[in-house]
Amino acid sequence: MLTADYSRLGEVCVELEKAGANLIHWDVMDGNFVPNLSFGAEVIASIRPLLTIPFEAHLMVTEPTWILDAMVNAGCSTVMVHQEACLHLHRTLGRIRELGATPAVVINPATPLESIIEVLDLVGLVLIMSVNPGFGGQSYIASVESKMRRLREIIIERELDIDIEIDGGIAPSTIASAASAGANRFVVGSAMFRDPEGFEHATAELRSLASASAI
């Protein structure tokens, strides 16, 4: 939602659901882990009654334990924390599960996959950043696809029930490659909001391209 029109945020979310979006991805920034500030729990909670699709919170927040309860209470059914931001990652993921939400772990483009191997049995989703976090409209970093391929192999080998989500630079020119590398969930920002034919066209086009390349 970083590239949405903030003056009509609730209306935009409703339009996205009508266009076929599967969920709303909230980038929550603290001005510390990343330079910007963004949506807080009160904003998210105010929009939750307007939609039926799930909300997920991507916490770009240093030591995010203080905000976990607020995000779940605001209506986020998945809460994502950065490996790079958590001193006690196991404990943080466990707390998300205790709150009744799906725990997810995020890694930045330069962070090795090995850094999260020990917590894969605690999560329902891994988010691979294909841009550096904190800003919308960045270019896709294709080198992260090797991490997704290896992660997909590990998931299959260990018979884990984990989704692979990718965030950053997802557009018609990149989504097929990301899908073929193992991603099965896609965070779309600029490509959605800047499509001159609107949300419904963007959603249908991206979904078709991803489905054709899914593994």
Residue 3 pLDDT grade (very low, low, confident, very high; cuts 50, 70, 90): confident
Write down the pLDDT at residue 214.
Answer: 87
Structure tokens at 113: 């996959």
Q: Which residue has the tokens 């054709």?
A: 212
Average per-residue pLDDT for the chain: 95
161 is catalytic: no
- Residue 135's pLDDT band, with cuts at 50, 70 and 90, is low
Q: Which domains does the chain have, with CATH numbers?
A: 6-213 (3.20.20.70)
Question: Which candidate in 5, 27, 161, 163 is catalytic?
Answer: 27
Is 30 in the active site? no
**Active-site residue among 30, 161, 163, 167?**
167
**What are the residues whose beta carbons fall under 8 Å from the beta carbon of 113, sequence distance 6 or more?**
107, 147, 150, 151
What pLDDT sits at residue 133?
82
**End-to-end CA separation in angstroms for the chain:** 27
DSSP state of 96: H
| Residue 137 reports pLDDT greater than 80 | no
3-state helix, strand and coil shares in percent for the chain, rounded to the nearest 5? 45, 20, 35
Higher pLDDT, 190 or 155: 155
pLDDT in tens, 48-67: 999 999 999 999 999 999 99
> What mean pLDDT comes out for the span 185-202?
94
pLDDT digits (tens, 9 = 90+) for 90-115: 999 999 999 999 999 999 999 999 99
